[in-house]
Amino acid sequence: MRVGFIGIGAMGRPMSRHVLEAGYELVVNDIRKEAAQELVSRGARWENTPKGVAQSCEVVLTSLPTPKDVEDVVYGERGLTAGWKKGDILVDMSTNSPAVIRKIAGEAQARGVEVLDAPVSGMVKGAESGRLSIMVGGKAEVLEKVRKILEAMGNVIVHVGDVGCGNIAKLINNMIAFGCSQITYEGMVLGAKAGIDVRTLREVLKNSSGTNDCVQNVLPSVFAGNFEPGFRINLALKDIGLALGMAKENAVPTPIGAAVEQRLLEAKASGLGEKSSHALILLLEKAVGIEVRTPQP
């Protein structure tokens, strides 16, 4: 089967590499041709436009930063719609708006094209290792047609409902994760200010009810002062905005989520937008005049 992959970024690069390594004939496209150079050197084929990818592939995967980027790839002058064939499948693995992907799915189905939304969790580390959690919305029978492709990228694949439900699950996951991270940063700064060794505090949290992914996997980067892009604050701000928009549409109060959004906005206004999301702790450190840093043991 020939598989297309559009969006060769921090996540898309290792994800598409796993598809290639699984034995699929891979066709790639990105706004920057140089982003796909390594894949092409490994045997992937470059296509200049999304239209070309759609024309040559039965299944196309997209991994893009924003809903607008997805719409541009689908509806642009040389977008996927210009190359779609009856029976094609689009799997959008971006963190997208449920409303946007449902609109795309409805219009695609009228042309005989099936759409799944399949956002992922696991960050770049999970993408590199092929151990992503993939949340799939869409028809179960369509998922079965592409399951082996998804299994090349992820070790946990959950069918969560109709098209759009994948992104509902992902946005809720991210909103919860951002909230857990923010309270973790507050606790670590409080601990440092109050006089406890932060590495010892982390060991307590790792084995207690306060543990979360930030405690388990992010704090080592904070301790080392590494705030270079992983999952950027600008992307986190996009995701929390989509989650809160969904909350408004459903009349669900989300005061904690709204507070986290304000912290992300503050970080962006402070010039931290392109830093990793755990750079949020820098705002707290500056406010109290202490840094949560410790040398490796």
Question: Could you tell me if 238 and 258 are in contact, meaning their C-beta atoms sit under 8 angstroms apart?
Answer: no
Which of the following is catalytic: 51, 170, 238, 275? Answer: 170
Question: What region, left, alpha or beta, does residue 74 occupy, with left being phi > 0 and alpha being psi -120 to 50 degrees?
Answer: alpha
Catalytic site residue 170? yes
CA distance 276 to 219: 12
CA distance 185 to 233: 15
3-class secondary-structure state, position 293? coil
Q: Would you list the DSSP string of 224-241?
A: HT--SSSSBHHHHHHHHH
Task: Of 88, 119, 154, give the one whose Cα is nearest residue 7.
Answer: 119
Task: Of 122, 161, 124, 156, give the one whose Cα is nearest residue 139.
Answer: 161
Cβ contacts of 101-107, under 8 Å, gap ≥ 24: 101/70, 101/137, 101/163, 101/164, 101/166, 101/167, 102/163, 102/164, 104/70, 104/71, 104/74, 105/138, 105/163, 105/164, 107/81
Tokens of 19: 């598809």
112 by Cβ neighbours in 10 Å (0-12 / 13-18 / 19+) ranks as exposed
Task: Of 131, 12, 162, 100, give the one whose Cα is nearest residue 4.
Answer: 12
Tokens of 284: 């707290």
Active centre residues (catalytic): 170
